[in-house]
Amino acid sequence: MISWRAIAAATLLAAAPALVAGEIPSDARRSGYTFMGPDTRAMQDDDTANPGMLFVLDGEALWAKKTGSAEKACADCHGDARGSMKGVAARYPAFDKALARPVTLDQRINLCRANHQQASPLPYESRDLLALSAFVAHQSRGVAITAGDDPELKPFLAQGRDLFMQREGQLNLACTNCHDDNFDRRLAGAPITQAQPTGYPLYRLEWQTLGSLERRLRSCMSGVRAQAYDYGAPELVALELYLMSRARGLPMETPAVRP
């Protein structure tokens, strides 16, 4: 199967040898939703059929639960998330002045836990961290993505763009080779999307659970036979930042459903 996939990727390259990396104009940007079949769309559209909503409900409970030695809940500082968190996820990753670098929503939640709740950090991809970030990001559903506006983010955006354009792995493929140049084609039976991260954390039918954008990026990296960066690595944050800024204007969908 592995060799078969490699052949599929090789065919893709052979079919489009002359294509140059080109960025997608803003009016041609499309959510991964538009690449899905009607049944998967229906699963996302109906909140009582969308399994991602199970995590949002768990996150809602965690939001109100006191934790850490400070005995504080998220709600004790931020109040009703429906108001206070609306639009927040749409501008993440955001620049953190104290750290002088961008942080993801997951990292922001853990910074809050460390600084304000005196609680231990939640591990990446743990159910509680996914539930909290899904609950927070869900408050931005329908809000246009604005990430990357802060001028302090400029060098990090440039780093993320470089990583997106840079070939890597044994298949020697860059993100752009598939997601800018060949979206709407198919790879091993599955449509290639534009890689617009509009619905994270999202419920992937393959995973049968909710997962972060970092998890998705890491599986792409395994797909091209590259060594994936660790969760929370500056490179992954920079890539996430570039991807979110590249999706600017598209509405948030959290929790999205994808195949």
Partner 1 sequence: MAALINVPAKAKRGDIIEIRTLTSHIMETGFRHTADGALVPRDIITSFTCRYNGTEVFRADLFPAIAANPYLSFFTVAKESGKFEFEWIGDNGYSSTASAPITVE
Partner 2 sequence: MPTTRRQFLSLTGGVTIAGTIPIVTMRPLQATPAMLNTAIRNVVGEAQIRTGKVKLDIPPLVENGNTVPMTVSVASPMTANDYVKSIHVFNEKNPQPNIGNFYLNAASGRAQVSTRIRLADTQKVVAIARLSDDTFWQVATEIVVTLAACTEEMN
Q: Give the catalytic positions in this structure.
A: 220
Asked whether position 43 contacts partner 2 by CB under 8 A, the answer is yes
**Residues whose CB falls within 8 Å of the CB of residue 197, separated by 6 or more in sequence, listed in order:** 213, 216, 240, 243, 244, 247
Binding of partner 2 by 16 (CB under 8 A): no
Pairing of strands 202-204, 209-211: antiparallel
Decide if residue 126 touches partner 2 (CB under 8 A): no
In this structure, what token pair is assigned to residue 185?
A: 């084609």
Q: Is the dihedral of CA 244, 247, 251, 257 positive or negative?
A: negative
Q: Which does 62 bind (CB under 5 to 8 A by kind): partner 2, partner 1, none?
A: none
Binding segment (CB under 8 A) for partner 2, from list 15-23, 24-32, 218-226, 234-242: 218-226
* Interaction of residue 191 with partner 1, rule CB under 8 A: no
Single residue of 13, 57, 143, 165 touching partner 1 by CB under 8 A? 57
Are 222 and 169 contacting, i.e. CB atoms less than 8 angstroms apart? no
Distance of CA 239 to the CA centre of its chain: 10
178 annotated to a ligand binding site: yes
Among 14, 18, 48, 69, binds partner 1 (CB under 8 A): 48
Judged by CB under 8 A, the residue of 47, 80, 149, 152 near partner 1 is 47
Q: Which of 17, 22, 25, 37 binds partner 2 (CB under 8 A)?
A: 37
Task: Quote the least distance from Cβ 150 to partner 2, whole Å.
Answer: 32
